[in-house]
Each structure stands twice: as structure tokens, then as C-alpha cells.
Amino acid sequence: MNTDHVAIVTGAGSGISRAAAIRLAQDGAPVALLDIAADAVAKTRAHIEEMGGTAIDIAVDITDHAAVTQAVTEVQHALGTPRVLLNGAGIIVRKDLLHTTPDDWDRVLRVNLTGSYNLLSVVVPLMAAAGGGSIIQIASTAAHLGGHGYPSYTASKGAILALTRQLAGELAKDHIRINSISPGAVRTGINRDSFADERVHTAMTSAIPLGRIGEPDDLAGVVAFLAGPDSRYVTGIDIPVDGGLISKINLGSDKAYNTFDQTGGR
């Protein structure tokens, strides 16, 4: 796989996916930007084109399998067969179990898990026919630690970890690698307001060994590594990109993290 292979990035209108799409374009990949937010994803495309990259934007609801199929067909016609897929679109509902409604649960699972399935089911056959590729899934430290107060999100991201491990074996015969990334506390649209709260910021930074909240650009390089040839012998793994958060919690130093949870952040 070469770095100029066509990449599809979902959720590319904002946050981690936006930063990753820009990095892939900087590395020479033509990038197809998918997002339900048409204006946001158009701005990402404009930014990539301003810096000399190649991109198209498609407004699509990834929970709609027919719409995903049509979007991928558009990608093929405009850019060629996708050889990189970043499943980055996701949502969160911050409600504990007894306050999570059936609609809440269904909505989170449809976007975070079924949305990934929809892309995989359409893109994998194309990658296989083209000789292989790389798939990157966005999980979460919540899948490792539990995210107190949002079981629907944690369940969806735990499923992403399991699905990634399952598919590593299934897809290897077609020279397709699949890995996941577990972001920790990263300043994106879904948590920027929370991190603006001094209590949240202090609790979270004190729980992170590197002592700061992450930025989307902190993950872009990891996406680029997994998408490119330097990771050609890497499949079926998860890479936490969390400033050391998981390691600290696993050592039992979780007082500050629990304080953060109680403030309703992340």
C-alpha cells in the first residue's frame, strides 16, 4: 500500500477525523470526506484543496446502508478504489443506564457500530479486489476503562475493539489490515464545553501522566502510520492514544479520573 492510495474518512467534518483526513492528504492520499454535516465537511475539503491536496466531500448518513453504497460508488468514480478506510464518525449520549432510553441506545449503536459495519461491508470487497488495504477504527479508552455515565457509548466502542480483532483474521487472506485507535481525553466538538469547565480540566489533566488534554492532531500521525507502509506487518491491534491515561488507571491511581467522571466530562 502506498501513501497516495485513495482514503475514505467518515466523520471528516470535525475533530479527530478532520485532523486525520488533513494529514492523509498531506501525505499524498486523495481523500473522500464523509459526514452527515454537509457544511462542515465542505470546509474540510476546502482546507485540503487550499493546501494543494485532493479531496471530495459527500454528505451522507452512515446508518443508511443504501446511502453508504451510493457514496462509495461516488468515491470510486471520482477518485478510484479506496485502499484506506478510517471509520471515525461517532456520537455520545451522556446518560447512565437507567436514564438511557431505547431510542438513545439505538441511536448510539447505529452510528458508532452499525455505521462502521455499513462502510466495512461496502468497502472491503473493493479493497480485496484491488489487492488489499488498511482499515482504521476509532474506539475509545472508555472501552478499556468504562466511561462512567454513558454505557451506550462504552458498549459501542467495546464492540469496535472486538470487531477489529475478529476481522483481522477474516481479512488477512485478502491482504487487508485492520486496527483500532483508542483516544483518551481529546478536545473535540463533543467535549470542548466540558473541558472548558475548570473542574473538569483540572481533574482530567491530573489523571493523565503527560499532563494535558489531547488535541485531534495528536492522533493524526497514528492514523497515518496505520494507513501507510510502515505498519505493513501490523493488524488486529488497538493503540491507546491517551497521554498514558490507561496506564495510570491500571496502576490504581484513579481518584482524579473518577472526579472527572462525576463532573460529566468526556
Task: Please pick, among 117, 150, 153, 257, the residue that the annotation labels catalytic.
Answer: 153
* In-domain check, residue 59: yes
Cα separation of 162 and 152, whole Å? 16
209 assigned to some structural domain? no
Please report whether residue 253 resides in a domain.
no
CATH number of domain containing 28: 3.40.50.720
Note whether residue 140 is domain-resident. yes
- Give the chain's domain count: 1
pLDDT at 50 > cutoff 50: yes
Q: How buried is residue 2: exposed, middle or buried, by Cβ count under 10 Å (0-12/13-18/19+)?
A: exposed
150 is catalytic: no
Q: Cβ(55)–Cβ(49) under 8 Å?
A: yes
Query: Residue 199: inside a domain, yes or no?
Result: no
Q: What tens digit of pLDDT does each residue of 171-198 get?
A: 999 999 999 999 999 999 877 787 888 9
Are 91 and 62 within 8 A, CB to CB?
no
Domain membership of residue 102 (yes or no) is yes
Domain that holds residue 109: 6-189+215-245
Q: What is the pTM assigned to this prediction?
A: 0.92
| pLDDT tens string 101-160 | 999 999 999 999 999 999 999 999 999 999 999 999 999 999 999 866 799 999 999 999
Give dist(CA 187, CA 177) in Å, integer. Answer: 28
Task: Kindly state whether residue 183 falls inside one of the protein's structural domains.
Answer: yes
Q: What are phi and psi of 234, to 5 degrees?
A: -120, 120
Residue 252 covered by a domain? no
Alpha carbons 122 and 65: distance in angstroms, whole number: 9
Q: What is the pLDDT of residue 192?
A: 79
Q: How many CB atoms lie within 10 A of CB 146?
A: 14
